[in-house]
Every structure is written in structure tokens, then in C-alpha cells.
Amino acid sequence: MSTTEPTWGERYAASLMNTFGPPKLVLVRGEGAHVWDADGQEYVDLLGGIAVNALGHGHPALVDAVTSQLQTLGHVSNFFTTVPQVELAEKLLDLLGVGAGGGKVFFTNSGTEANEAAFKLTRRTGRTHVVVAEGSFHGRTMGALALTSKEAYRAPFEPLPGDVTFVPYGDADALAAAVTDETAAVLLEPVQGEAGVVVPPEGYLAAARAVADEHGALLWLDEVQSGMGRTGRWFAHTQPESGVTPDVVTVAKGLGGGFPIGACIGIGAAGELLQPGNHGTTFGGNPVACAAALAVVRTIEDEDLLEHATVLGQKLRDGLAADPRVTEVRGEGLLIGLDLSAGVSAEVVAAAQEAGFIINNPTPHRIRLAPPLVLTEDDVNAFLASWPGILDSAMGEQAMGEQAMGEQA
């Protein structure tokens, strides 16, 4: 009889549903943009919980805000409001440039819940048709999944809430052809994150705004991954050249800096579509989550992290693009995607982890980086210095694998 204690991985497999596959690491501690695993190994976290940990790990402002609020008032039902809830709603409307009175906010616990709320909001127009982009990702709950294009995610759960048309992302003509007078909303990510950080051509969002206006449809922008300073701006759609004001914006991820919170924001008349009895949430907008989000926003402002993300992001993109095995680098701020000359992204992720860096591979040819906004220049320099060796290791593993397959044949 074995007396060996089970590993954390074995305990995970025995007790958690197998929705994510085996975990890559057992992480036990974090500080800034660094994390440590159960064996004491240190890593630079260049994924940030997939664009969530805006202030990194253990930021004093976030810790203090959550601790103080939990000691003061932890939860109330939606029969009541709290000061942090009202202040955060006002702040989000200010950041969108419409101000209090220019829109209304519904708070949720996550991005998929924010998109569920927005989906229900679009039904209040009296229409059901939604036009969405190929390559989109809007969540895993049934409504949000109906708006997510990846067939592998959708097929096991069909039939899904219907009347959805998918069109190629960035193709304004295809968008115009799909939108009709029966369309409730056009739903787009200003930058597609899950697809590998895909940036649309200039003028695309303006074209979407125009076609939505032509047919009386809502323009709904999913900023769950791209919002809250991630691109060096509060929202990716607010680049000066676009001049686009959406009807609905959904945010989450970086909003709470790791504390679960999301928001569905209706601008102008769209903010009045959901009325009492139309929707609800138990935990959404609770005072602790709202206090956390306020701390994140204020820290981004106080520490000038929008400019920091812009400068460091450019340095990262330039350094990554310098290697000829990288065929394209995309993104803004600290939301970065790149294409590899070979389909070895899984090997690149493994080699990076071995070298002490956490990155992500959304597709076989693509790598995604979404590090904390508090990432340091030293962290960037260390990663760029290791990058050629990471690619050497990954490309070498692929070559050896192909050679072995050839010998077996």
C-alpha cells in the first residue's frame, strides 16, 4: 500500500470538474507582475489572469480598499444601494465621456454576465436579430455563447438563443449587407482578444456606427478584455480618429483588478431599456466589488498607468517584431498579439514557462500577452532578452518532433 501523498495536480483532478484540463502550474503567491508556484519557482506574469490583474498581485490600494469596505459593509440586497456602487457608476459614465445622466449602468459579476444583460437589453427594442463578428468571444453562458463564433464552443450546447448572423471581422461591406431593419444590435469587440488580438482596419467602427444608425439598431461594443486601460486608453473604441459613441458597452476583467465585477453600460436611450423586473443579480454591484473597482480606476489615474502601458507596450511590440520568426505583431498598450512563422505556439508557451514567463497561445500560430499595467521596464527587458532563446527552444522541439515522425514512417 502506497503512503505517498497525492500531488496538488492529483488532488485537483480528483475534486474539480475537468472543464479546463490539467493546470499548468499550482500558483501560491504573487507580487506586482510576478507569481510563484508551489515549488518556489518565480515567473513574470505576462498574461495577468487574461487581462484581469490590472494592478498586478497584492497592490496595496486594492488590498486596502477591499479590506476597509469588507470591514465596513460587505453586502446588501438590491433593495438598497451603497456609496461605492453609485460612485463607480458615475465614474464609468465619466470615463466614457457621457457623464451621469448620459447613460445608466447595470453591475454584474463577470464579463459573460455583462453580455447576458446586454443581450436581454437588445431584446427590449422589440427586435431579436443580432449581427456579430467571426472570431468573436463574448462568454460561455447560453446567451453569450450564442453570440460567440467558435463552433467548438457552441456545438455541444445547441440549440442556442437564435437569430444571430456572423460576418467576417473588419469587413464593413459584409456588415452592411447583414444588418437590416429587423436588427436589434451590432455586436463587436473593438479589438478581438480571444482570436489573438485582432485589430480592425481604420474606419471599421465608424462604419458599424453608420450602418446601425441607418437601420435603427444598437451598436454594442464588448470591451471586456480591451477596456479599463488595457490599450493605453480607458476604452479601445475611444481612439481620436474613430469618433464613435456606442449605445451599449460591456466591461469586466480589468475593472476589478482580480475582484469579480462586470458592467453593462447603456448610453443615452439604451440606458432606459431595462426596467424593474427585467433583470437582476444577487452579488452584482455589491459594495466590496465596487470599492475594488474604484481603487483600480483611481490607481490607474494616480500612477499614470495609461501612459505607462502605452510606452511599455510599444517597447514590447518593437522587441518582439525584431525576430524574423515573428511574422506580425498587433495590438495597443499592453494587449499584444503576434503571429509565428510556424504553428508552434504551444511549444512557445511551454518554453517561456520553463524560462520563467507566463504567456498564452490562443491559436496554433498566435501568442497573446496581457500583462498587468504595473509591469516594469526591467520585466520587459528580461522577457525580450529571453525571447530568441524561447523561440529557439520551441522551434527546435518542433523540428525534432517532425524528424521523429519521419523516422517512424
Element spanning 209, H or E: helix 204-215
Q: Comparing C-alpha atoms, which of 90, 87, 85, 86 is closest to residue 102?
A: 90
Q: Is 371 helix (H, G, I), strand (E, B) or coil?
A: coil
Catalytic residue among 222, 247, 323, 379: 222
Domains of the chain in start order, with CATH, are: 8-58+304-408 (3.90.1150.10), 73-302 (3.40.640.10)
What pLDDT is recorded for position 162? 87
Q: Is-contact 217 184, C-beta < 8 A?
A: yes
Cα separation values, 208 from 175, 216, 221, 266, Å:
7, 12, 10, 17
What pLDDT is recorded for position 242? 66
Catalytic residue among 107, 119, 137, 259: 137
- Strand ordering across the sheet containing 326-332: 326-332, 335-340, 366-369, 360-363
What pLDDT is recorded for position 398? 54
Catalytic residue among 104, 106, 247, 253: 253
Q: Is-contact 166 111, C-beta < 8 A?
A: no
Q: 378 catalytic, yes or no?
A: no
> What span, in angstroms and rounded, lies between the C-alpha atoms of 58 and 49?
14
41 backbone dihedrals φ, ψ, rounded to 5°: -75, 135
Q: Furthest-apart CA pair in the chain: how many Å?
A: 73
What pLDDT is recorded for position 406? 44
What pLDDT is recorded for position 397? 56
Q: 213 catalytic, yes or no?
A: no
What pLDDT is recorded for position 240? 67
- Tell me whether strands 218-222 and 248-251 are parallel, antiparallel or unpaired: parallel
Q: 37 catalytic, yes or no?
A: no
This prediction has a pTM of: 0.94
Please, where are the H alpha helices in 73-203?
A: 83-95, 111-123, 142-146, 151-154, 172-178
Mean pLDDT by 10 residues, the chain (409 residues): 83 96 96 98 98 98 98 96 98 95 97 98 98 97 96 95 96 98 98 96 96 98 98 90 88 98 98 97 97 98 98 98 97 98 97 98 97 98 98 76 44
Spatial neighbors of 295 by CB under 8 A, at least 6 apart, are 61, 62, 64, 65, 66, 257
Residue whose C-alpha cell is 500577452: 369
Spatial neighbors of 238 by CB under 8 A, at least 6 apart, are 96, 97
